[in-house]
Amino acid sequence: MLNIIYSNIFNNCDTPRPWGIYFQDSATPQMEGLVELHNNIMFYLVIILFGVGWIMVSIVRNYNNVKSPRELLGKWRLWVNKLPNFGELLKLLIPSCSRKAISGWTNHSCTVTSQEICENKMDNRESKSVICESIAVKEQRVDGSCTGAKPPVLRCTLMGFERNLPINIQSKLINKKFFSTSTIDKDHDDFMPKMNPWFFTGFSDGEASFMIYIQKTNSTKIGWASWVSFEINLSDKDLSILKSIKSYLKVGTINQKSDGSCVYYIRRLPDISILIDHFEKYPLLTQKFADYLLFKSAYDILKKKEHLTIEGLYKLLALKAVTNKGLPEVLKETFPNITSIERPSVFDSKIPDPNWLAGFSTAEGSFMVRVMDNSNSRIQVLLRFKLTQHSRDEQLMRSLVNYLDCGKISVNERSVEFIVTKFSDITNKLIPLFGKYPIQGIKNLNYLDFLKVWQLMKNDLHLTDKGVKLIRKIKAGMNLGRK
């Protein structure tokens, strides 16, 4: 095109010359004009090409917002598709435009290769499940934030290089409970939601054990070794709770067993002192507080090294005799003359914080759905929340009725139950409580299923055959039916 323009201009010159001679003679006014014209044409041509390119990129970006990702510029891919979350967060995945990526690296370095993220950190994340045709049930809303951020923000790091991925084979992420594209330690402490102190106390009231161990050994002069241990044994499905506890206390060890269980324990004396500091500030409410006081006395004996003497050993035996299940048969036969001490008394305690109740319900609560066939051919659906405890904690359980202003108490020889079945109490008392102070661990999944059935009942769908069929399906996957 430029050759045609120059040819026309050249033909209009007073002294036409061959092209090569024309450019060699740069002193003439005609030549200076042509050079200036050439520069202007090139400048505007570059501007036009840049504008067209910008428009094309904008069109592709807008197109990819609703379509699947496409390859652009050879091996460089531009990922801007929406994430599958119901809400306004995390709509875009932005590629890293590194030098190697733009130059066309073979492993597509600038492609976002991971969407890993800790779901507990996702603020206002709402999902919606359409179960069958016209029935839709909202499942959950999770509020979370980056630790220490004001205002709360979402923790998310995108990575472009495969060597930076915590797991090279992405399908293995299915069995992981904690996700992040940033480099974190093996316990994922940075991504653990901060545990409320009262939640830990409430959970300990239900699940913890304060142990005093005395074992025969050849490593001490008296022939016996003694130590104390704080322990929580759970199914490995609740491993996340133990990790949260460890992250909160900053001490202790978690062991996963081959039988599908896991245990968190604290045995080192300096670590036991941290545990004692917690329970002094946030005391236990159940009769387990007596076990804690005996445990604390045993800790004092160990700290003073009195357990290395026969007198100290007898003190520990006296404490162990009234702790938990008492002395095992081996110790009773070896030390038949142990003087028993009086077990500490625990006075009735008032519930100090709703977080305690959330922790205690996580440990001892049950969310149940009942579907009953009545004689008049009508099917009745009932929701029931239950807390069960040893009968010695009857007064504490009765205090729940006053604290929540709902429910009733059922007592037998060995246990006491706090039960809520009234639909209005579940609607106005329990759901707002656990919405603000959530259940944790695998039991939270049972609560969410409980919530689905409540939503169906609230919309009177339990009065329809389709609704009852859906409720039966939800019920079959709860509690013992959950895989």
Assigned domain for 347 exists? no
CB–CB of 139/128 below 8 Å? yes
Assigned domain for 424 exists? yes
Q: Which residue has the tokens 């604390």?
A: 296
The one-letter amino acid at 187: D
Assigned domain for 40 exists? yes
Residues 211, 184, single domain; the answer is no
What CA–CA distance (Å, rounded) separates 276 from 295?
10
Residues 277, 386, single domain; the answer is no
What CA–CA distance (Å, rounded) separates 448 from 408?
23
Strand order in the sheet with 415-420: 365-373, 379-390, 415-420, 408-411
Residues 296, 402, single domain; the answer is no
Assigned domain for 110 exists? yes
Model confidence at 32, pLDDT cuts 50, 70, 90, reads low
Q: Among candidates 102, 96, 51, 97, which has minimal Cα distance to 74?
A: 102
* H or E element in which residue 345 lies: none
Q: What pLDDT was estimated at residue 28?
A: 60
Residues 211, 314, single domain; the answer is yes
> What mean pLDDT comes out for the span 395-414?
93
Residues 82, 48, single domain; the answer is no
The one-letter amino acid at 458: K
Residues 26, 130, single domain; the answer is no
pLDDT digits (tens, 9 = 90+) for 81-139: 334 444 444 434 444 444 444 444 444 444 444 444 444 444 444 444 444 444 444 43
Using CB atoms within 10 Å of the CB of residue 6, give its burial: 0 to 12 exposed, 13 to 18 middle, 19+ buried.
middle
Q: What pLDDT was estimated at residue 40?
A: 77
Assigned domain for 69 exists? no
Q: What percent of the chain has pLDDT over 70?
A: 65
Residues 205, 274, single domain; the answer is yes
**Range in 8-17, 75-84, 251-260, 262-271 the model is least confident about:** 75-84
> What mean pLDDT comes out for the span 397-425?
94
Can you list the positions of beta strands (E) in 122-207? 125-132, 135-142
Residues 56, 85, single domain; the answer is no
Residues 315, 395, single domain; the answer is no
- Residue at a domain's end among 15, 30, 64: 64
Residues 312, 261, single domain; the answer is yes
Q: What pLDDT was estimated at residue 387?
A: 96
Residues 367, 407, single domain; the answer is yes
**Domains in the chain: how many in total?**
4
**C-alpha pair distances (Å), 272 with each of 38, 228, 253, 299, 472:** 84, 9, 12, 8, 47
Q: Any idea how long the chain is? A: 483
Q: Among candidates 423, 366, 438, which has minimal Cα distance to 140?
A: 438
Angle value at C-alpha 420, between 414 and 424, nearest 5 degrees: 170
CATH number at residue 376: 3.10.28.10
What CA–CA distance (Å, rounded) separates 137 from 142?
16
CB–CB of 355/363 below 8 Å? no
- Ordered alpha helix ranges (H), 25-136: 29-64, 99-102
Rounded to whole angstroms, the maximal C-alpha distance in the chain is 132
CA quadruple 390, 393, 396, 398: dihedral, nearest 10: 70
Q: Which residue has the tokens 């007898």?
A: 314
Model confidence at 322, pLDDT cuts 50, 70, 90, reads very high
- Residue at a domain's end among 264, 299, 334: 334
- Residue at a domain's end among 44, 64, 84: 64
Residues 380, 462, single domain; the answer is yes
| Domain containing residue 396 | 355-481
CB–CB of 369/475 below 8 Å? yes
Assigned domain for 455 exists? yes
Model confidence at 291, pLDDT cuts 50, 70, 90, reads very high
Assigned domain for 341 exists? no
Assigned domain for 348 exists? no
